[in-house]
């Protein structure tokens, strides 16, 4: 199989509106979790979240959108992050022919922010009917294509919190099958009342700053954001003398097949995902230099993810951290956000800390990274696990 590499990236999260700002926050331990101010919810002041500190009008202005009302917040994030990825991996190299550039995007609730606002109106009259289709998950994908002038394959995936890792995987396969020269892959999700209340009724939201992989963890903080990477074959990248950010050396998708929301007691799905990605990469477990964990901060996820890590990597468990205390859990975008953080770890040879860690989880044989540290990083595993038992992992390698 041909080698697939990453040549561009773009990101917007609560810790920064581009790659450089996100990196600065990561190395200065500056997180984005705080009181809710943009989302209109009665839980303001009670539940914290990692919001992007820009209004929809400000977001629209950044993309030159003149009719902001017609764009959901999910779409506005997507436009910004995808444009950055496009600029850094495609237009920077003066590539103008995008006939074979595909978009593989993902989202969990699509344009739920507009749906929440107009739902009762939709049922009563046609006054706001023009927004009905912004609900669809593909709305953001199509508007990104319009914005970037893409008219090739245009895919939207939704597998809850593992969505964007599956988008990256699908993009890599499109390239390997010769169905696209380049793929912009990632995901986008805005905070909504729907998801905030959903996670709240499940009683898995920490009302303070979350503490993944810690014995005293009390749940997750929701975040919002979008991120995209540019994928292509190593040959295509070298043809244009591109800077190669990393190689995508392994990937796998598995299903826990246990419960719609809870993971199996020993994390069998997460084990299969990590094992599958490692097997594809041809690497041995002890060659992995860093694991960017899914690490949401919920009781169930962190316990079982740690057990699965233990099963594969013990006794030489590589440094592990969850970066979710920085960004919150950005749902569909989480996988690609953390892929970019993993790429930054490889690029700068730095391990990012797992903020708020105090005490090891009793059943775990490892403690996560406490402080920013330099390290030789050649291969990184990044995980995303979701509702429905949808578990995915990638192996990213220094090129």
Partner 1 sequence: MEAYIRGIGNISPQNSWDNAVFPGEMVLYEGNRLKCIEPDYKEFIKPIQMRRMSRTLKMGVSAAGRCLRDAGIEAPDAIIVGTGLGMMQDTEKFLNAILDNDEKFLTPTSFIQSTHNTVGAHIAVMLKCNKYNLTYVHENISFEEALLDSLMRIKEDPSEKILLAGIDELTDEYFTITDNAGFWKKDIEGNSELLKHSSSGSIAGEGAIFFVVSGEEHPGNYARFAGVDTFYKPLSDDETESFIREFISSRGLEFQDIDLLITGMNGDNEGDNVYRRIQEKMFPGTPTAYYKHLCGEYYTSSAFASWLGAMIIKTGSYPESIIINGLRPEGAVNNILIYNQTNNTNHALTLLSTC
Work out which of 95, 142, 280, 312 binds partner 1, going by CB under 8 A.
142
Contact flag: residue 316 with partner 1 (CB under 8 A): no
Residue 258 binding partner 1, by CB under 8 A: yes
H or E segment to which residue 50 belongs:
strand 48-50
As a residue count, the chain comes to 399
Which amino acids are annotated catalytic? 161, 294, 329
Q: Which of residues 57-116 bind partner 1 (CB under 8 A)?
A: 107-108, 110, 115-116
Long-range CB contacts (< 8 A, 24+ apart) of 359-364? 359/214, 359/215, 359/216, 360/215, 361/213, 361/214, 361/215, 361/302, 361/303, 361/306, 362/215, 363/303, 363/306, 363/307, 364/213, 364/303, 364/306, 364/307, 364/310
Tell me if 220 sits within 8 A of 298, measured CB to CB.
yes
Question: Is residue 158 close enough to count as binding partner 1 by CB under 8 A?
Answer: yes
Instruction: Rule CB under 8 A: say whether 390 interacts with partner 1.
Output: yes
CB of 150 to partner 1, least distance (A): 7
Alpha-carbon span 189 to 109, nearest angstrom: 7
Taking CB under 8 A as the criterion, the residue among 254, 278, 333, 337 binding partner 1 is 254
Nearer to partner 1, 87 or 116 (CB): 116
**Residue 300 tokens, joined:** 């169930």
125 touches partner 1 (CB under 8 A): yes
Is 256 a binding residue for partner 1 by CB under 8 A? The answer is yes
User: Whole-number minimum distance, CB 162 to partner 1, in Å?
Assistant: 9
Least gap, CB of 331 to partner 1 (angstroms): 10
Using the rule CB under 8 A, which residue among 64, 66, 120, 374 binds partner 1?
120
Q: Shortest CA distance to 336 belongs to which of 226, 249, 252? A: 226
Residues 6+ positions from 360 with CB-CB distance below 8 Å? 215, 366, 367
Is residue 33 within 8 A of residue 325, CB to CB? The reply is yes
CB nearer partner 1, residue 18 or residue 261: 261
Instruction: Check residue 175 for interaction with partner 1 (CB under 8 A).
Output: no
The CA distance from 175 to 13, in Å, is 28
Which span (3-11, 85-93, 189-197, 314-322) binds partner 1, by CB under 8 A? 189-197
Binding interface with partner 1 (CB under 8 A): 41-43, 107-108, 110, 115-116, 119-120, 122-126, 129-130, 132-133, 136-138, 141-142, 145-146, 150-160, 166, 170, 173-174, 177, 179, 193-194, 197-198, 200-202, 253-261, 268-269, 272, 386-390
């Amino acid at each position: 199989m041909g080698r697939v590499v990453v040549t561009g990236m773009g990101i917007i999260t609560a810790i920064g509106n581009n790659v450089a700002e996100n990196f600065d926050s990561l190395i200065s331990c500056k997180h984005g979790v705080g009181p809710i101010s943009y989302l209109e919810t009665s839980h303001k002041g009670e539940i914290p979240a990692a919001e992007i500190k820009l209004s929809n009008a400000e977001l629209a202005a950044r993309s030159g959108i003149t009719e902001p009302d017609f764009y959901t917040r999910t779409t506005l994030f997507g436009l910004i992050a995808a444009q950055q990825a496009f600029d850094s991996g495609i237009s920077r190299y003066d590539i103008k022919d995008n006939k074979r550039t595909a978009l593989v995007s993902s989202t969990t609730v699509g344009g739920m922010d507009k749906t929440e606002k107009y739902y009762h109106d939709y049922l009563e009259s046609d006054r706001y009917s023009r927004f009905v289709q912004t609900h669809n998950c593909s709305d953001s994908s199509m508007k990104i294509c319009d914005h970037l002038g893409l008219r090739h394959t245009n895919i939207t995936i939704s597998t809850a919190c593992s969505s964007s890792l599956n988008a990256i995987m699908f993009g890599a396969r499109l390239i390997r099958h010769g169905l696209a020269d380049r793929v912009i892959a990632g995901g986008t999700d805005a905070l909504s009342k729907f998801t905030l209340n959903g996670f709240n009724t499940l009683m898995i939201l920490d009302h303070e700053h979350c503490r993944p992989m810690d014995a005293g963890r009390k749940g997750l903080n929701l975040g919002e954001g979008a991120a995209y990477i540019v994928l292509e074959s190593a040959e295509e990248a070298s043809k244009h003398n591109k800077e190669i950010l990393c190689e995508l050396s392994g990937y796998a998708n598995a299903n826990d097949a246990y419960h719609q929301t809870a993971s199996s007691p020993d994390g069998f799905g997460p084990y299969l995902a990590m094992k599958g990605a490692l097997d594809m990469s041809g690497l041995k477990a002890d060659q992995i230099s860093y694991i960017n964990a899914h690490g949401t901060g919920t009781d169930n996820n962190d316990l079982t993810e740690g057990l699965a890590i233990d099963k594969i990597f013990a006794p030489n468990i590589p440094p592990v951290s969850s970066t979710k205390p920085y960004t919150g859990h950005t749902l569909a975008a989480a996988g690609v956000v953390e892929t970019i953080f993993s790429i930054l770890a490889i690029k700068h040879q730095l391990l990012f800390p797992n903020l708020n860690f105090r005490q090891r989880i009793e059943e775990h044989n490892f403690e996560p990274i406490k402080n920013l540290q330099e390290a030789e990083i050649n291969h990184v595993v990044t995980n995303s696990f979701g509702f429905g038992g949808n578990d995915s992992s990638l192996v990213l390698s220094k090129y």
